[in-house]
């Protein structure tokens, strides 16, 4: 027979602590498997097309600091603008816990 791990046991401890502290606002010992499953399902449903992209690869491919811009403040501002563009184009608002700026009900 195979070994089955719960959601708590499947998450890296640092991620579990962060989810419990900042998202669920509970101590990790007080969080149930059902709460974690619900949170994960909610995050997945809030993604564009119910698909979770490889965010690390996406940003690695598309997000770069433009070193041709001489002014450091302008360079950083452009970086954040590019980040926001990627988030909007890919529908990642729910994934990063931010409202969609194009949503008329916002």
Name the residue among 48, 79, 77 with its Cα closest to residue 64.
Answer: 79
Tokens of 1: 């027979």
Length of the chain: 106
Residue 2: left if φ>0, alpha if ψ -120 to 50, beta else—which one? beta
Q: How far apart are the first and last CA of the chain?
A: 49
Domain ranges in the chain?
Answer: 7-45, 50-90
Q: What is the pLDDT of residue 49?
A: 54
Give the integer Cα–Cα distance in Å for 56 and 105: 29
Over residues 37-41, the mean pLDDT reads: 87
Q: What is the pLDDT of residue 73?
A: 96
Q: What is the pLDDT of residue 62?
A: 95
pLDDT digit string, tens, across residues 21-31: 988 999 999 99
Q: What is the pLDDT of residue 80?
A: 94
């Amino acid at each position: 027979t195979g070994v089955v791990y719960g959601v708590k046991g499947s998450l890296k401890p640092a991620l579990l602590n962060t989810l419990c502290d900042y998202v669920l606002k509970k101590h990790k010992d007080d969080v149930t498997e059902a709460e974690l499953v619900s949170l994960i399902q909610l995050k997945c449903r809030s993604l564009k097309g119910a698909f979770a992209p490889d965010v690390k690869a996406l940003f690695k491919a598309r997000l770069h600091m433009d070193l041709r811009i001489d002014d450091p403040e302008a360079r950083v501002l452009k970086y954040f603008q590019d980040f926001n563009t990627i988030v909007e184009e890919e529908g990642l608002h729910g994934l990063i816990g931010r409202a969609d700026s194009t949503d008329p009900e916002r």
